[in-house]
Structure formats: C-alpha cells, structure tokens
C-alpha cells in the first residue's frame, strides 16, 4: 500500500514511517521541519542526537534496500499539498504534521494563533486536496485523548449514543479540551467529520494518549535511525521527563496533587496502531475515531513507577500546577477498537522503564537543567519572560 506520512521527521512520524516501510508498504515522508525550529526558539534539543531526514532515509535504504520519497514543504501551502498528492498518489495519508504541544500553544497569543492556524489550515488543505484529487484516499489523522478533557461520564470512541427526552441520536462525543493545542484538534475533528458527511471522504481520527518511550525495533537498528527524545517542560511528555529527572538525581516534578489521570501508550504501540488503521481503512463517508491508548494512569502513579524501578534514590516533588485542570476526577475510557483490529499492547513495564533509563544515562550530559522547569502558565495570557 502507498502511504504518505506527513510530519515524517518528528518524534512519532519517523518511527511510523520506518515501521510501515518494514511492513512492506511503499512510504513517502513529508515535513517542514517546524519541530526542529521550535528547538531553536526554545533553546533546547532532543536528548538523543538525531540525523537530518535525508541521512535517516539514506541509512534506511542502505540497511534495507527500501527507499522513501521525501517531500519538504508546509501543508498550509496548498500548492505544495496538492502537488505532493498528485505526484505520490497515496492510498493512505498519515497526518502527524501539526504543532503538538499543549504548553507551546499556551505561551502567549501568538503561539495560540499559530497553533490553531497551522493545524486547522493544514488539515483543511489536505481535506480539499483529497476531495479534489482522489476521494478514495484514507486519511489517518492524529488526534489526542486531551480533546475529551475529563468528563464525569465514560469516554467513548469519538461518538456517543445519547438519549434525551425520550429520543435518541448518535452524536460526536462532546469535548472539553484543556489547551489551545487540544482545541485545534477538536476543530480538525469537526472539519473532518463534515467532509466525510458531505463529500464522502474516509477518515480515521486517532485520539492518542500520552506517548512514552523512544525506541522501536526499526529505530534500534542504527543510531542514525534514532527518533527524538524530548525532556523539556514544553515538548517533553510526562513519563519521559520523569525518567530524565530520575537519572539526573532531580526530584520528579508532579504538577499539583498528581491525581490527574491520563491515557498512555508505548511508542511501539503507536506505530502498530497506525499500521492497523491504514491496513483496515474506514469506509467511504465514514468518520471513525479510535482511542489510541492502552491503559490509564495518574501522574502520581507514573512518578511512583519510575521511583520504584530506578536503581537509586528518587524524590517526588509536587509543584504548583501551571495548568488549569482537574486533579481528582473520574476517568474511564473505552479503547477496544484497536484491540479488535489486532493490537497487543505493551503495558507500562519495568523493562520499558529500564531501557529508557539506559537512553537517558547515555545522553545525560546533553541535558539543560532549566529546560525541565515549567515556565508556561495557563493562567497568564502574556507568556513568560524568556530567561537569558
């Protein structure tokens, strides 16, 4: 199957491209390198050194004989988006190409506007390009579990059967997202559902939990195939940050009580989920949603898991929560559709944590301590003053 991976240079886009290629699919990758640019803006970099996209692709070809077309450009540039689809003629498009950090979107007005325009316009251009060039293309789009927020009722997979005043309907699951980033994905979901309904497009929205881990079987073949590992308070996901803090002998910084529960998923399961979605496409006109997570844990539980597994002393510190979110809440998520397609989850295990400790130790000298401290506050509109 011909699969185009948008955002194919990113933390998850690159391992996904490798995995799909490994599975025998003809893969192309596209990126505008915005993610590398954010590093320059924030003065941080991936803990694990990463090669250029060109070197990555060459390395993969040298190792496996499999080639990947590379498209360098921006989805908000419609000419680029249309040209790429016309040239590569994918059967599936996997869309990771969005600004993906909640704290980045909350820095200030400019970052909020950038995040929503970048994400919404990129996806709109893609929907139009698919509709005009080949409405049979299956769009596999990365959403986030954060779109749902923390409702008092069970979280279903994208749609909800509602009974109200004696009548029933099947509606998009009501959303209560927690940042302008999460909101941008809610906007995308609404736009996508509309184009499935009126143009008969086919789309799968993968509402992904917090991803942890850094290595997949394919990235481990060669150091030059490594994907990024972000530990900073803006782009680092929570469990990855805790691992670095443990290795450095820093306290693990839990925001608030740590009672916040989140869906989580191992990076090896992420790439498998995308493969399953591509190989089992949605029907024409269908907008389907999978909750792409394997278990739910509280932030406190994640910290305690790291504490328990780390061979050394670990302290857990509770910081004032820079986010506005509920810290003690109901959280019960249905996530069976990917299991039904064949996913065998890697649950949060000592093995995984241990392999992450090894990665963190190997590159601990590259850590900038101050990057671990949260500077973006949900309550302030004007953004943090940059420390110099």
Stretch that binds a copy of itself, among 22-30, 41-49, 136-144, 174-182 (CB under 8 A): 174-182
Compute how many other C-beta atoms are within 10 angstroms of the C-beta atom of residue 267: 24
Nearer to a copy of itself, 89 or 362 (CB): 89
Nearest to 264 by CA among 323, 346, 324: 346
- Shortest Å, Cβ 104 to a copy of itself: 15
- Shortest Å, Cβ 206 to a copy of itself: 20
Tokens 């080639």 map to which residue? 67
| By CB under 8 A, residue 163 contacts a copy of itself | yes
| By CB under 8 A, residue 112 contacts a copy of itself | yes
| By CB under 8 A, residue 197 contacts a copy of itself | yes
Burial class of residue 131 (count of CB atoms within 10 Å of its CB; 0-12, 13-18, 19+): middle
Which tokens go with 68?
């990947």
Out of 115, 144, 219, 237, the active site residue is: 144
| By CB under 8 A, residue 379 contacts a copy of itself | yes
| By CB under 8 A, residue 137 contacts a copy of itself | no
| By CB under 8 A, residue 119 contacts a copy of itself | no
Tokens 């302008």 map to which residue? 180
Orientation angle between helical segments 78-88 and 109-133, nearest 10 degrees: 40
Distance CA 47, CA 139 (A): 31
- Shortest Å, Cβ 314 to a copy of itself: 32
| By CB under 8 A, residue 152 contacts a copy of itself | yes
Distance CA 44, CA 35 (A): 11
User: Which 323-342 positions form the footprint of a copy of itself (CB under 8 A)?
Assistant: 324, 330
Distance CA 223, CA 56 (A): 10
Which tokens go with 313?
């002393």
- Using CB under 8 A, count the residues that bind a copy of itself: 50
Q: Which of 63, 72, 162, 347 binds a copy of itself (CB under 8 A)?
A: 162
| By CB under 8 A, residue 73 contacts a copy of itself | no
- Shortest Å, Cβ 375 to a copy of itself: 17
Which tokens go with 357?
């400790």
User: Which 7-46 positions form the footprint of a copy of itself (CB under 8 A)?
Assistant: none
| By CB under 8 A, residue 79 contacts a copy of itself | no
| By CB under 8 A, residue 84 contacts a copy of itself | no
- Shortest Å, Cβ 149 to a copy of itself: 9
For 86-150, give the DSSP string. Answer: HHH--SEEEE--S---HHHHTS-HHHHHHHHHHHHHHHHHHHHHHHHH-TTPEEEEEEEGGGT--
Q: Is 219 helix (H, G, I), strand (E, B) or coil?
A: helix
Sheet architecture: strand order including 287-292: 69-72, 26-31, 2-6, 92-95, 138-144, 202-208, 287-292
Q: Is 181 a catalytic residue?
A: yes
Distance CA 100, CA 263 (A): 16
Stretch that binds a copy of itself, among 57-65, 83-91, 123-131, 300-308 (CB under 8 A): 123-131
| By CB under 8 A, residue 134 contacts a copy of itself | no
Distance CA 169, CA 110 (A): 39
Q: Is 331 a catalytic residue?
A: no
Terminal-residue alpha carbon distance, the chain:
49
Nearer to a copy of itself, 167 or 387 (CB): 167
Q: Is 71 a catalytic residue?
A: no
| By CB under 8 A, residue 171 contacts a copy of itself | yes
Residues near 386 by Cβ (< 8 Å), separated by ≥ 6? none
Task: List interacting residues with a copy of itself (CB under 8 A).
Answer: 78, 109, 112-113, 116-117, 120-121, 124-125, 128, 131-132, 151-154, 160, 162-165, 167-169, 171-178, 180, 183, 186-187, 190-191, 193-194, 197-199, 324, 330, 378-379, 381-382
Catalytic site positions: 144, 181, 185
């Amino acid at each position: 199957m011909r699969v185009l991976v948008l955002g194919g240079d990113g933390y998850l886009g690159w391992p996904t491209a490798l995995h799909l290629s490994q599975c025998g699919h003809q893969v192309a990758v596209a990126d505008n390198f915005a993610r590398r640019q954010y590093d320059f803006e924030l003065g941080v970099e991936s803990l694990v050194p990463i090669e250029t996209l060109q070197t990555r692709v060459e390395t993969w070809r040298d190792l496996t004989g499999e080639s990947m077309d590379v498209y360098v450009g921006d989805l908000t540039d419609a000419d680029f988006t249309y040209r790429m689809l016309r040239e590569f003629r994918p059967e599936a498009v996997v869309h990771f190409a969005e600004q993906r950090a909640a704290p980045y979107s909350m820095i200030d007005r400019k970052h909020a506007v950038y995040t929503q325009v970048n994400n919404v316009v990129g996806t709109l251009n893609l929907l139009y390009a698919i509709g005009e060039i080949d409405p049979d293309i299956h769009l596999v789009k990365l959403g986030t579990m954060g779109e749902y927020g923390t409702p008092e009722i069970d979280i279903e997979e994208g749609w909800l059967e509602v009974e109200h005043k004696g009548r029933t309907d099947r509606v998009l699951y009501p959303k209560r997202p927690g940042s302008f980033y999460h909101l941008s994905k809610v906007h995308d979901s609404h736009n996508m559902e509309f184009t499935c309904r009126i143009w008969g497009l086919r789309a799968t929205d993968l509402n992904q939990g917090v991803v942890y881990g850094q290595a997949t079987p394919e990235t481990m073949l060669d150091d030059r195939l490594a994907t990024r590992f972000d530990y900073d308070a803006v782009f680092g996901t929570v469990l990855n940050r805790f691992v670095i803090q443990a290795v450095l002998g820093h306290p693990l910084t839990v925001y608030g009580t740590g009672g916040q529960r989140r869906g989580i998923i191992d990076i090896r399961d992420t790439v498998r989920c995308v493969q399953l979605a591509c190989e089992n496409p949605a029907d024409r006109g269908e907008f389907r949603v999978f909750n792409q997570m394997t278990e739910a844990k509280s932030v406190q539980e994640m910290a305690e898991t790291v504490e328990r597994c780390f061979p050394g002393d670990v302290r857990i510190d509770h910081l004032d929560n820079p986010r506005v979110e509920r810290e003690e809440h109901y959280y019960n998520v249905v996530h069976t559709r990917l299991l039904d397609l064949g996913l065998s989850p890697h649950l949060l295990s000592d093995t995984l944590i241990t392999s992450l400790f090894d990665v963190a130790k190997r590159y601990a000298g590259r850590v900038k301590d101050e990057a671990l401290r949260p500077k973006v506050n949900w309550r302030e509109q004007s953004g943090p003053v940059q420390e110099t």
